[in-house]
Amino acid sequence: MYVLALAPHITVWFTLFCIIMIAVWYFSKSALIGFGSAIAIPAFLIKWGVDKKILVINKLLGDVHAKSLASLQNIDYFFYNANGSIAVDSRTATISYIKVLPTLEVLPPVIINASDIIEFYFYDPGMTTTKYYGRDMAVAQEVLTDNLKAIGARAEARGVHIKVDDLQHPKIVMNMTAKEADHWTVILRKLIDGSLDPTNGPKLIP
């Protein structure tokens, strides 16, 4: 995670590295101290920034988890991540879907009747990335930034897509991996045909 925080702004951090090294070297008269400071200070700043983001994400996950469990009167199976959550009640054949916006706002749950589901499927759009072997750091950063955007776009679209007979919410997308979707496509199929067994309490799947 620390490397991912560094990567999109590599030229900025390299410039800061050079400035710190030159300044500390000049005032301390020691190349070793200058080099060490140029490594330590940016590393501290990166760690501080990433640790703050981790705290925010952990708080978000706790919020999504709590709202997921409160979204239905009874919950048999549920799944959640930083993009939202999905939960099902086999007794009433209903689904709760919560979406998290890029601003980290957690939207109110959308309740869907299993009978209103038109179709559902797992979709992974794949992605195209670029390799760069030149020495131009600005171009390298641009390529890296584009690759990170491609990875982010894929993660945003990858998941279980559910088309619903609902004018307000005709389609929902629950972001998850193919392995996670293997479980949830079975859960949804069983929920729709009425064969999903109830549980004694909310069960996180997978």
Q: Give the pLDDT of residue 14.
A: 78
The pairs formed by 122-128 with CB atoms below 8 angstroms and a separation of 24 or more are 122/159, 122/160, 122/161, 122/178, 122/181, 122/185, 123/157, 123/158, 123/159, 123/160, 123/161, 124/154, 124/157, 124/158, 124/178, 125/153, 125/154, 125/157, 125/158, 126/154, 127/151, 127/153, 127/154
Q: Give the pLDDT of residue 203.
A: 98
- Residue 11: count other Cβ atoms within 10 Å of its Cβ: 13
- Residue 151: count other Cβ atoms within 10 Å of its Cβ: 13
Given the structure tokens 């054949």, which residue do they identify?
93
Q: 10-23 pLDDT, tens per residue?
A: 677 778 888 988 99
Q: Give the pLDDT of residue 93.
A: 98
Q: Give the pLDDT of residue 139.
A: 61
Q: Give the pLDDT of residue 50.
A: 84
Q: Give the pLDDT of residue 100.
A: 97
Q: Give the pLDDT of residue 159.
A: 94
pTM of the entire predicted model = 0.75
DSSP category for residue 109: P
- Residues lower than pLDDT 70 in the chain: 1-10, 126-141, 143-155
